[in-house]
Amino acid sequence: MKDWDKLKKLVHHRDKHICQSCGKFPSSQVHHIIPRRKDGKDKYNNLITLCTRCHMLVSPIPDSVLIKLFHINPKELDNEKNKVHRNISKFVSRQNYKA
């Protein structure tokens, strides 16, 4: 098993396979709190379990795709994205560590 696979397994275990934003179970996406494109590392403290929907809402995916895929009212899209970001921030605060 590769290091990345082992790390993902540890993160899923820590988070009990629950999306740390919306609570969906089971969830299998691992998200970088500080994105790789902003020099975020593949480290345990920089990873969080999210469901596909929450993960896509905080990923660099065009708004038009998100609106169509998840049937989100365009006027509510920013609120949906911000909700996931707030929940990730709460997770980091609860864990009492810096990503």
CA pair distance 57, 80, nearest whole angstrom: 7
Continuous segment of H or E residues that includes residue 30: strand 29-32
Amino acid symbol at 33: I
- Express each pLDDT in 24-45 by its tens digit: 999 999 999 999 999 999 999 9
- What does the pLDDT look like over 45-61, one tens digit per residue? 999 999 999 999 999 99
Among 75, 35, 37, 71, CA closest to 53: 71
pTM: 0.91
